[in-house]
Amino acid sequence: MALQMIEYNHPALILVDGVSSICALDFRMDEWGIDVALTGSQKALSLPTGMGIVCASPKALEAAKSAKSVRVFFDWNDYLKFYKMGTYWPYTPSIQLIYGLRAALDL
């Protein structure tokens, strides 16, 4: 059965916690209108724990600009700033997990 997205005029964001399913099941973030999706390295990617993977839609990034929540451990702006500079991480990544992720995605 095909899924059909219906556009709603509502400010709520759709967030998917896909730690056990992303990369194990079909997941179409853009097609399904998902705003934020997150997964971890330890499930379907078959890597050790330690890496969180988060994807955000333009709608989610725009909403973050006016959000008043406290940002202690994660802020999109840190990552976006470094990405625009040509690097990918504002902090030291686990190189072993990065190479493992590349191999898992190639599979």
Query: CB under 8 Å to 51, separation ≥6 — which residues?
Result: 40, 41, 94, 97, 101
CA distance 76 to 68: 14
Could you tell me the pTM of the whole model? 0.80
* Residue extents of the structural domains in the chain: 15-60+72-106
**Range list of β-strands (E), 1-107:** 15-17, 36-40, 52-56
Candidates 49, 43, 44; CA nearest to 94 is 49
Per-residue tens of pLDDT for the chain, all 107 residues: 455 556 667 788 999 999 989 989 999 999 898 999 999 999 898 899 988 899 999 999 999 889 888 877 778 888 889 989 988 788 888 899 999 999 988 98
Say what the pLDDT of residue 1 is: 42
Candidates 28, 33, 25; CA nearest to 58 is 33
Say what the pLDDT of residue 29 is: 93
CB 2 within 8 A of CB 32: no
Say what the pLDDT of residue 8 is: 64
Query: CB under 8 Å to 76, separation ≥6 — which residues?
Result: 56, 61, 64
